[in-house]
Amino acid sequence: MSLRSLALATALTAAPFAAQAWEVDMSHTQVTFEVSHLGFSTMSGRFTEFEPEVSFDPEDIEATEISFVIDAASIDTGWKARDEHLNRSDFLNTGEYPEITFTSTSVTQTGENTADVTGDLTMLGQTQEVTFNATLNALGPFPFNPEMQIAGFTATADVDRTAFGMGFGAPAIPAVIPVTVNIELTNQE
Residues 89-104 pLDDT 10s: 999 999 999 999 999 9
Work out the average pLDDT over 135-144: 94
For residue 188, what pLDDT is reported?
A: 72
- What's the CA dihedral at 185, 128, 120, 29 to 10 degrees? 10
For the cut 60, the answer to whether the pLDDT of residue 54 exceeds it is: yes
* 71: Cβ contacts below 8 Å, ≥ 6 apart: 47, 48, 49, 50, 98, 99
* 179: Cβ contacts below 8 Å, ≥ 6 apart: 31, 32, 33, 132, 156, 157, 158, 159
Residues 59-114 pLDDT 10s: 999 999 999 999 999 999 999 999 999 999 999 999 999 999 999 999 999 999 99
Work out the average pLDDT over 28-37: 97
DSSP letter at 84 equals H
92 touches 109 (CB < 8 A): no
For residue 44, what pLDDT is reported?
A: 98
For the cut 60, the answer to whether the pLDDT of residue 126 exceeds it is: yes
Percent residues over pLDDT 70 in the chain? 88
Secondary structure (DSSP) of 155-189: EEEEEEGGGGT--TTTTTS-SEEEEEEEEEEEEE-
For the cut 70, the answer to whether the pLDDT of residue 189 exceeds it is: no
Residues shown for the chain = 189
Bond preceding residue 143 cis, omega within 30 of 0:
no
For residue 79, what pLDDT is reported?
A: 98
How much is the CA Rg of the chain, to the nearest whole Å?
Answer: 18
152 touches 140 (CB < 8 A): no
For the cut 90, the answer to whether the pLDDT of residue 165 exceeds it is: yes
CATH superfamily, region 3-188? Lipid/polyisoprenoid-binding, YceI-like (2.40.128.110)
For the cut 90, the answer to whether the pLDDT of residue 151 exceeds it is: yes
Nearest to 93 by CA among 48, 49, 125: 125
